[in-house]
């Protein structure tokens, strides 16, 4: 949020209790200010919908209920609109859209490798993940981590899911080991990665593997 505000593409506040929140909302509702933000979004994020999203938020703040434009362009989108009828081509359409989605977003396919990166020291995340995924397409790697260094994870091009931090010994704050294990099971359910390894801590507890070790197949979870 701070970066976006500095770049001139958004307004930022410190949180829901920030005294400046009301002023920022009023500023966002100002047509001239909103138009400037939308133009800045178009320059900073060409073609990814950021400007449209900013415009949508502005109109919502102003009390409008804009209907987003969907299914109004291209032949496939017309097919999608018609398929809502009970006799429409639902099953072929689902298959076609699923194939298109996977072609556009290969990171949504089943991962080749699941990497557990728990308790990795700050500054070592990129090095460890790069070494672990050297021979693999990054978009087919799933990282399970308690790190909030999202910028590094996005630069690496891997898919990632955030896990709660492992509880300190003698303290019971936040999620416990069983809750973290349950979250790992949920995150891996249906994804079926071919391999799994741990580049940090708690590999045995969460995936049934040694830290730094890599089994031949399966996750052990």
Q: What is the pLDDT of residues 161-197, one digit of tens each?
A: 999 989 877 555 667 889 999 999 998 887 888 889 9
Do 195 and 119 belong to one domain? yes
Do 78 and 53 belong to one domain? no
Q: Please classify residue 29 by burial: count the beta carbons closer than 10 Å to its beta carbon, then call 0-12 exposed, 13-18 middle and 19+ buried.
A: middle
Do 199 and 111 belong to one domain? yes
Residues 103/185, Cβ–Cβ less than 8 Å? no
Look at residue 199 and give its three-state secondary structure: coil
Q: Which of 87, 104, 121 is the last residue of a domain?
A: 104
What local confidence, expressed as pLDDT, does residue 1 receive?
76
Tell me if 216 is assigned to some domain: no
Residues 149/122, Cβ–Cβ less than 8 Å? yes
Do 158 and 118 belong to one domain? yes
Do 98 and 124 belong to one domain? no
Do 142 and 169 belong to one domain? yes
> Tokens 């249906």 correspond to what residue?
190
Q: What is the pLDDT of residues 45-98, one digit of tens each?
A: 776 666 677 777 777 766 665 555 544 455 555 555 555 555 455 666 667 777
Tell me if 220 is assigned to some domain: no
Q: What is the pLDDT of residues 87-126, one digit of tens each?
A: 455 666 667 777 777 677 665 667 889 999 999 998 899 9
Domain region containing 48? 2-61
Tell me if 27 is assigned to some domain: yes
User: Can you tell me the distance from the alpha carbon of 37 to that of 176, in angstroms, rounded to the nearest whole number?
Assistant: 43
What CATH number does residue 127 fall under? Answer: 3.40.50
**What's this model's pTM, rounded to 2 decimal places?**
0.51
What local confidence, expressed as pLDDT, does residue 20 receive?
87
Tell me if 69 is assigned to some domain: no
User: Can you tell me the distance from the alpha carbon of 12 to that of 165, in angstroms, rounded to the nearest whole number?
Assistant: 27
Total structural domains in the chain? 3
In eight-state DSSP terms, residue 120 is: P
What local confidence, expressed as pLDDT, does residue 221 receive?
39
């Amino acid at each position: 949020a701070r970066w976006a505000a500095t770049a001139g593409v958004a307004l930022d506040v410190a949180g829901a209790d920030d005294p400046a929140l009301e002023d920022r909302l009023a500023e966002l509702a100002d047509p001239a200010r909103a138009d400037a933000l939308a133009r800045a979004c178009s320059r900073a994020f060409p073609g990814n919908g950021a400007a449209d999203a900013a415009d949508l938020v502005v109109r919502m703040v102003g009390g409008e209920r804009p209907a987003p434009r969907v299914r109004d362009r291209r032949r496939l989108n017309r097919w999608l609109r018609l398929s809502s009828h009970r006799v429409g081509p639902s099953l072929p359409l689902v298959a076609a859209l699923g194939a298109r989605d996977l072609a556009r977003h290969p990171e949504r396919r089943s991962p080749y490798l699941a990497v557990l990166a728990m308790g990795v020291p700050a500054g070592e995340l990129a090095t460890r993940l790069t070494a672990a995924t050297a021979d693999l397409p990054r978009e087919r790697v799933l990282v399970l981590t308690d790190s909030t260094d999202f910028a590094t994870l996005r630069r690496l091009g891997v898919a990632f899911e955030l896990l709660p931090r492992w509880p300190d010994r003698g303290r019971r704050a936040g999620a416990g080991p069983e809750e973290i294990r349950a979250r790992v099971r949920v995150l891996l359910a249906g994804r079926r990665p071919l391999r799994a390894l741990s580049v940090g801590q708690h590999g045995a507890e969460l995936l049934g593997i040694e830290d730094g070790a890599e089994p031949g197949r399966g996750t052990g979870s």
